[in-house]
Amino acid sequence: MALASLSAACFVSVTSENLPVALLPDLAAGFGVSEPAVGLLVTGYAVVVALSVVPLVALTARWDRRTAAVATIATITASNVLLAVAPSYGVAVVARVVSAVGHGVFWSVVAVIAARLLGPHRAGRATAVVFAGNSLAFLVGLPLSSWLGATIGWRPAVLVVAAAAALSAVAIRTTVDPTPPDHSTPSDGPSAVRRTLTDRSLAAVNATTLIVVLGHLTAFTYITVIIADYVHLTGPATSALLLAHGAAGLLGLVFIGRDVDRRPCGTALLVTGGFAACMLTLLVAGPGAGAVAGAAVVLWAVPAGGMSVVLQAAVLRVARDRPDLASAVYIVAYQIGIAAGAGIGGLLLDAGALPVAVATTALCGVAGAVLVRRSAAFRRADAARCPGAR
The angle subtended at Cα 204 by Cα 202 and Cα 205, nearest 5°, is 65
What per-residue confidence (pLDDT) applies to 149? 85
How many residues in total does the chain contain? 390
What average pLDDT does the segment 85-91 reach? 93
Q: How far apart are CA 341 and CA 215, in angstroms?
A: 6
| Whether residue 302 is found in the same domain as residue 353 | yes
Q: What would you measure as the largest C-alpha separation in the chain, in angstroms? A: 60
The count of C-alpha atoms lying within 13 angstroms of the C-alpha of 118, restricted to the half-sphere facing its C-beta, is: 19
352: buried, middle or exposed (CB in 10 Å: 19+, 13-18, 0-12)? exposed
By residue range, what is the domain housing residue 275? 190-378
pLDDT-derived band of residue 318, with 50, 70 and 90 as boundaries?
A: confident
**Claim to verify: residue 311 and residue 162 sit in the same structural domain:** no
**Cβ within 8 Å of residue 334, ≥6 positions away:** 209, 210, 213, 308, 311
Could you tell me if 45 and 140 lie in one domain? yes
User: Which residues, 6+ apart, have CB-to-CB distance to 363 below 8 Å?
Assistant: 215, 276
pLDDT of residue 186: 47
Q: How confident is the prediction for the chain on average, in pLDDT?
A: 84
* Residue after which a domain boundary falls, among 149, 175, 201: 175
166 with 247, same domain? no
The DSSP 8-state label assigned to residue 228 in this structure reads: I
Q: How far apart are CA 63 and CA 132, in angstroms?
A: 26
Question: Is residue 230 predicted with pLDDT exceeding 70?
Answer: yes
Q: Is 90 exceeded by the pLDDT of residue 299?
A: yes
Instruction: Give mean pLDDT, residues 197-223.
Output: 85
| Residue 325, in any domain of the structure | yes
pLDDT at 389 over 70: no
**Most confident listed range (60-64, 178-182, 302-306):** 302-306
Cα distance between residue 54 and residue 325, in whole Å: 7
Task: Give percent above pLDDT 90 in the chain.
Answer: 29
* CATH number of the CATH domain containing 146: 1.20.1250.20
Q: What is the DSSP string of 7-19?
A: HHHHHHHHHHHTH
pLDDT score, position 33: 85
Is residue 145 domain-shared with residue 224, that is, in the same domain? Answer: no
* Residue 149 included in any domain: yes
State residue 185's pLDDT score: 45
Q: Is residue 181 part of a domain?
A: no
Whether the CB-CB separation of 135 and 305 falls below 8 Å is answered with yes
Measured from the Cβ of residue 81, the count of other Cβ atoms closer than 10 Å reads 19
User: Would you say residue 360 lies in a domain?
Assistant: yes
Cβ neighbours of 118 (radius 10 Å): 17
Q: How much is the pLDDT for 320?
A: 66
pTM of this prediction?
A: 0.77
Answer whether 284's CB lies under 8 Å from 231's CB: no
The whole-number average pLDDT for the span 158-172 is 95
Highest mean pLDDT: which of 189-193, 248-252, 266-270? 266-270
Predicted pLDDT of residue 245:
85
Single-letter code of the amino acid located at 58: A
Categorize the per-residue pLDDT at 196 as very low, low, confident or very high, splitting at 50, 70 and 90: low
Same domain (yes/no): 301, 276: yes
What is the predicted pLDDT for the residue at 330? Answer: 86
| 94 plus 196 within the same structural domain | no
- Whole-angstrom distance, CA of residue 378 vs CA of residue 386: 7
Among 34-38, 155-159, 366-370, 379-383, which stretch is predicted with the lowest mean pLDDT? 379-383
- The verdict on 211 and 355 lying in the same domain is yes
Does residue 199 lie within any of the structural domains?
A: yes
pLDDT at 155: 94
User: Which SS3 state, helix, strand or coil, does residue 181 take?
Assistant: coil
| Whether residues 311 and 268 fall in one domain | yes
Q: What is the pLDDT of residue 48?
A: 86
DSSP 323-368: HHHHHHHHHHHHHHHHHHHHHHHHHHHHTT-HHHHHHHHHHHHHHH
pLDDT at 35 over 70: no
- Give the confidence band of 193 by pLDDT, cuts at 50, 70, 90: low
Does 184 reside within a domain? no
> In 3D, which of 140, 148, 115, 135 has the Cα closest to residue 327?
115
Domain end point (choices 120, 151, 175): 175
The DSSP-derived string for 83-149 is: HHH-SSHHHHHHHHHHHHHHHHHHHHHHHHHHHHHH-GGGHHHHHHHHHHHHHHIIIIIHHHHHHHH
Question: pLDDT per residue over 89-100, tens digit each?
Answer: 999 999 999 988
279 close to 359: Cβ distance less than 8 angstroms = yes
How many other C-beta atoms lie within 10 A of the C-beta of residue 381?
A: 10
Task: From residue 172, give the alpha-carbon distance in Å to each of 4, 7, 178, 199.
Answer: 9, 10, 10, 32
Same domain, 128 and 221: no
Domain finish residue from 175, 200, 218? 175
* In a shared domain, residues 169 and 210: no
Judged against a pLDDT cut of 90, whether residue 22 lies above it is answered with no
Whether 183 shows a pLDDT value over 70: the answer reads: no
Does residue 222 carry a pLDDT above 60? Answer: yes
pLDDT band at 390 (very low <50, low <70, confident <90, very high): very low
**How far apart are the C-alpha atoms of 261 and 167, rounded to whole Å?**
31
Let me know whether 285 and 329 are in one domain.
yes
Q: Please give the average per-residue pLDDT across 324-330, as a whole number.
A: 80
Q: Is residue 349 part of a domain?
A: yes
Q: Is 182 contained in some domain? A: no
- Total of domains in the chain: 2
Q: Which residue has the higher pLDDT, 144 or 210?
A: 210
- If one compares 205 and 199, the residue with the highest pLDDT of the two is 205
